[in-house]
Amino acid sequence: MSRTPTLLHRQSDPTNPIALEKPKWFGSLHLGFSYIAAMLAAGATLWIFVIMLMICADVIGLKVFSRPLYGVVELTGASIVAVVFAQLPHTLFEKRMTRADFLISTLEIKTPHLGLALNLIFCLCGLGIFAALAWMLIDPTRSALLEGEFIGTQGIFTMQVWPIKAIILLGVTMTALEFGFQSIRLAHAILAEKAVKAAIVPFGLVLLICIAVWVAPDIGRIGIGVIGVVAMVLMILLGIHIPVAMMLVALVGVWLIRENPTLALKTIRSAATGTINKFDFGVVPLFVLMGLLVDASDLGKDAYRVAASLLRRLYGGLAIATVAANTVFAAITGISIASAAVFTRVAVPQMTAHHYSSGFAAGTVAGSSVLGMLIPPSLLLIIYGFVTETSVGSLFIAATLPGLLLAISFCLFIYLAARFAPEKVGCPDIAEDIAPVSGGEVIRALAPIFFLVFVVLGGIYGGVFTPTQAGAVGAATTLIVAVARRSLTWTKLWLVMKETGVISVTILLLIIAAAAFTKMLVMSGIPNAIVSVFLEQGISFWGFMLGYFAVIILLGMFLDSTSIILIVVPLVVGIVPEITQGIVASDPLIWFGIVTIIAVEIGLLTPPFGITVYVVKATLATDDVTLTAIFRGAFPYVLIMAVVMLILTAFPMISLFWLMP
């Protein structure tokens, strides 16, 4: 879900044109800091596991004994912020904070001195943002300690909040320090390589921009907002960390709009501490944990083995089996990256051994893995629900039929291509040699999967669980299944938990940054202005939707899916009820979420970013398959998704079937 900056990882590469040599005093100091950051992250990772156990205990106590575990809701909501910022320094140290590094990577290779200078500017921006945030968190933390501030209800459950606020302050401060350490390394490299002249141009440009902003005439709130949006997109494309870009634009934008730097700093602080401090946001790490446990338990491998055996006599049967297994897998994990990694390992070798072209085999895995972002439980739908304040359960129900339609369309394409144009897929015959599976093997392979689907989705649709509770129960159930199957070692479990923490912090930090950015947008008046322009110009429904899809898909070529939703949706959500009036009978934001996710999915398969394609490429055991071949193999699935997206746009009732009288 995040992109890894290339330069800071090439320090040991002998082909690297610039080695980031450390100052002599730097190594031991930074190493000691990294140990502290790692221990803090480990504590936060373990707390996610504790949250899962507490919520499960609360569910059991309430549903079985009618005695809930008091304080779970309050403690989860308050501590989730601490989990994010406790994980953040180590996440930054590991170069996992979200950024789009395709352009900066090219600069680092072709003009390494310029790459160093830009990276230094980006790190200094991060240092400034998090240092300012740390400064703003000192007084609330001290006040909470001195005044005995607590959460909960007296006589039932109370807990002082200063320890949680202290952890948040510590995490933010250490993040600023890590940005500082990286800045020192980059500055030292610039001096060591005598690249100061190359750094003059970008630093001079930044200085000119600051002066221009300071002395610029009043261009109005909307003008400031528009410039802020453009500046943020340009910074992100250049390679700055995406949360830093959002918070920087929010800080400067609110400062200029309200002419009050203190208010701007309070806006950042409010977003950092008051956005995800709710029980509902616990759903993110819990569903991530569940998805990674599903991966570790080899359920995807078993699903593919059964599907391949049952469909072996169909033309294109192995590719259809990949789609079918991905569909089943998607119903128990909302992470497309996990699906891509699993089925690259188990499906691509099988398909290539049966004469499928390697590009088509890898492209089929990449194309079908995006089903995990649509078929519930979907992490992207959860994030969209947070942004638009719509029901996650309703979004899950609405995505069911479109997800199945997309999966069936994939299978139909594969069958027709293999039957009538086998040279396109490289599979002239059917896979008769695959051993059949017995009924008992089918039951043993699929029973755990359907049980998990029943527990999670059945619990949500049946009103037994909230999505957050379903995430906790699902993660715990998956853990039990993995242990029962003896597919989970202590080492693998710890790796799963660490990855859960990293993925969760990248998503939740983006939500925090997007909240600050959205506040700036609201102050600028851009959302209302967009609504007015569309209504005054009389832009048609299809004109709006096609333009919206074009922007989403274009951004998908460069940015990750979560960032796209958090950047674009707040800009247009206000116009949706107006533009769909008379076309979408009820709950237009629910339908809009489904077509938005499909548009974002297309971006997951389009160059140059195409994160799913990169995951498939990185997971392949051979270097014989090029990125170009995988993109080419995935292209038919992009076209199919585009067609399904347009069908769902023309016929909203497919998504809202459950609301029809």
Residue-wise pLDDT tens digits, 62-101: 888 888 888 899 999 999 999 999 999 999 998 888 887 7
Instruction: Tell whether the model's pLDDT for residue 328 goes beyond 70.
Output: yes
Cβ atoms of 509 and 44 within 8 Å: the answer is no
Same domain, 34 and 127: yes
Between CA 438 and CA 1 the distance in angstroms is 38
Q: What is the pLDDT of residue 503?
A: 87
Between CA 389 and CA 337 the distance in angstroms is 26
Asked whether residue 401 is assigned to any structural domain, the reply reads: yes
Q: Please list the residues that pair with 152 across neighbouring strands.
A: 158
What angle (nearest 5°) sits at the alpha carbon of residue 244, between those of residues 242 and 248?
A: 120
Between CA 449 and CA 152 the distance in angstroms is 38
Sign of CA dihedral 237, 240, 244, 248: negative
Q: Where are the beta strands (DSSP E) in 39-180?
A: 150-153, 157-160
Instruction: Tell whether the model's pLDDT for residue 333 goes beyond 80.
Output: no
256: phi then psi, degrees, rounded to nearest 5:
-70, -40
Tokens 């390679």 map to which residue?
Answer: 239
Between CA 370 and CA 410 the distance in angstroms is 12
Same domain, 423 and 295: yes
Same domain, 192 and 121: yes
User: How many helices and strands (H and E) does the chain possess?
Assistant: 28, 2
Asked whether residue 174 is assigned to any structural domain, the reply reads: yes
Asked whether residue 80 is assigned to any structural domain, the reply reads: yes
10 band by pLDDT with thresholds 50, 70 and 90: very low
Same domain, 216 and 290: no
pLDDT digits (tens, 9 = 90+) for 342-356: 788 888 888 888 888
Cβ atoms of 120 and 199 within 8 Å: the answer is yes
Inter-axis angle of helices 162-192 and 261-274, nearest 10: 110
Last residue of a domain, one of 223, 241, 264: 223
pLDDT digits (tens, 9 = 90+) for 599-655: 998 987 887 767 788 878 877 866 778 888 888 888 999 999 999 999 999 998 998
Question: Average pLDDT of 422-450?
Answer: 76
Q: Tell me the range of 189-198, 422-431, 435-444 where mean pLDDT is highest.
A: 435-444
Q: What is the pLDDT of residue 308?
A: 82
Cβ atoms of 470 and 480 within 8 Å: the answer is no
**Up-side HSE of residue 183: CA atoms within 13 Å toward CB?**
14
**What is the number of other CB atoms lying within 10 angstroms of the CB of residue 250?**
27
Instruction: Kindly state the helix (H) or strand (E) to which residue 20 belongs, with its residue range.
Output: none
28 band by pLDDT with thresholds 50, 70 and 90: confident
CB contact burial 283-296 (16+ within 10 A = b; e otherwise): bbbbbbbbbbbbbb
Instruction: Tell whether the model's pLDDT for residue 473 goes beyond 90.
Output: yes
Between CA 336 and CA 534 the distance in angstroms is 35
Same domain, 158 and 286: no
Tokens 């719509």 map to which residue?
Answer: 390
Asked whether residue 395 is assigned to any structural domain, the reply reads: yes
Same domain, 525 and 650: yes
6 band by pLDDT with thresholds 50, 70 and 90: very low
**Up-side HSE of residue 340: CA atoms within 13 Å toward CB?**
25
Burial of 94 (0-12, 13-18, 19+ CB in 10 A): middle
- Structure-derived torsion over alpha carbons of residues 483, 485, 487, 492, reported in degrees to the nearest 10: -20
Between CA 372 and CA 369 the distance in angstroms is 6
Between CA 340 and CA 337 the distance in angstroms is 5
Residue, of 555 and 16, whose pLDDT is higher: 555
Least confident of 147-156, 248-257, 544-553, 638-647: 147-156
Asked whether residue 257 is assigned to any structural domain, the reply reads: no
Q: What is the pTM of this model?
A: 0.87
- Structure-derived torsion over alpha carbons of residues 395, 397, 401, 403, reported in degrees to the nearest 10: 50
Domain range for 445 is 281-659
Percent share of the chain, pLDDT over 90:
31
22 band by pLDDT with thresholds 50, 70 and 90: low
Same domain, 188 and 297: no
Look up residue 527 and give its amino acid. Answer: P
Tell me the three state secondary structure of residue 531. Answer: helix
Instruction: Tell whether the model's pLDDT for residue 422 goes beyond 70.
Output: yes
Q: What is the pLDDT of residue 5?
A: 35
Q: What is the pLDDT of residue 509?
A: 92
Of the candidates 131, 128, 112, the one whose C-alpha atom is nearest the C-alpha of residue 189 is 112
Last residue of a domain, one of 201, 223, 245: 223
Least confident of 49-63, 408-422, 620-634: 620-634
Cβ atoms of 310 and 318 within 8 Å: the answer is no
Cβ atoms of 119 and 240 within 8 Å: the answer is no
Instruction: Tell whether the model's pLDDT for residue 23 goes beyond 80.
Output: no
Q: Tell me the range of 131-135, 274-278, 633-637 where mean pLDDT is highest.
A: 131-135
Same domain, 540 and 609: yes
Count structural domains, the chain: 2
61 alpha carbon, distance to own chain's centre: 33
Q: What is the pLDDT of residue 609?
A: 67
Same domain, 189 and 330: no
Asked whether residue 245 is assigned to any structural domain, the reply reads: no
CB contact burial 435-465 (16+ within 10 A = b; e otherwise): eebeeeebeebbebbeebbebbbebbbeeeb
Question: Average pLDDT of 418-428?
Answer: 78
634 alpha carbon, distance to own chain's centre: 21
Q: Which residues contact 256 (CB under 8 A, 6 or more apart)?
A: 213, 224
Same domain, 197 and 323: no
Asked whether residue 582 is assigned to any structural domain, the reply reads: yes
Between CA 112 and CA 120 the distance in angstroms is 12
Same domain, 294 and 217: no
Between CA 323 and CA 641 the distance in angstroms is 14
Asked whether residue 232 is assigned to any structural domain, the reply reads: no
Percent share of the chain, pLDDT over 70:
93
Instruction: Tell whether the model's pLDDT for residue 263 goes beyond 70.
Output: yes
Same domain, 305 and 196: no
Q: What is the pLDDT of residue 437?
A: 78
Last residue of a domain, one of 180, 203, 223: 223
The per-residue pLDDT of the chain, averaged, comes to 85
DSSP sequence for 552-578: HHHHHTTS-HHHHHHHHHHHHTTTHHH
